[in-house]
Structure 1
């Protein structure tokens, strides 16, 4: 079974990654030594806690099955297991990229994550 994991990223940073053919990480990823991801159930809370009020974001869906043993699920917020990638993200593992706009209430409006 292929599991989809999600990365929230500033759109300009993601567009740079697309031009390079790989995503090396956001500043927090580079500082921590791995790329932070969320599961479907974790993504909205991640947006609320770590990206509150930020506009011009994208939600990136990644096929976790293509990341191999460099993807590790580790305990984080509340003891939940979060996917962490200890490598660059090759864009061949990306399923889709969609805008993550802010609503009038200041919360992000998530796209359909099924497709």
Structure 2
């Protein structure tokens, strides 16, 4: 992926992204809400405006993401946490993260996008 970010930073379900180099604003485009779990955190991407993370009972906006060496830092303003780049080698999928079950072939299951 461009800009030094790994492919797994974007979940499956994203339909595009852009980076404004003038203000470092990173925008990801979806057809609705995308939520998934990573480790002990539940993330929700919505309204083409931001990423929120649920910590305990509160939803907080992630205000900054940056890479330093092999670590990615996610800041919510008052605190931040880091994850090794190895956590982003595979993309989570909207709605089911890494635990998605493949649909059986020739079944009567209908699928709609989020």
Q: Same fold (TM over 0.5)?
A: no
Instruction: State which structure, 1 or 2, has the greater radius of gyration over its C-alpha atoms.
Output: 2
Identify, as 1 or 2, the structure richer in strand: 2
Identify, as 1 or 2, the structure richer in helix: 1
The structure showing larger relative contact order (alpha-carbon pairs under 8 Å, at least 6 residues apart) is: 1
TM-score normalised by L of structure 1? 0.27
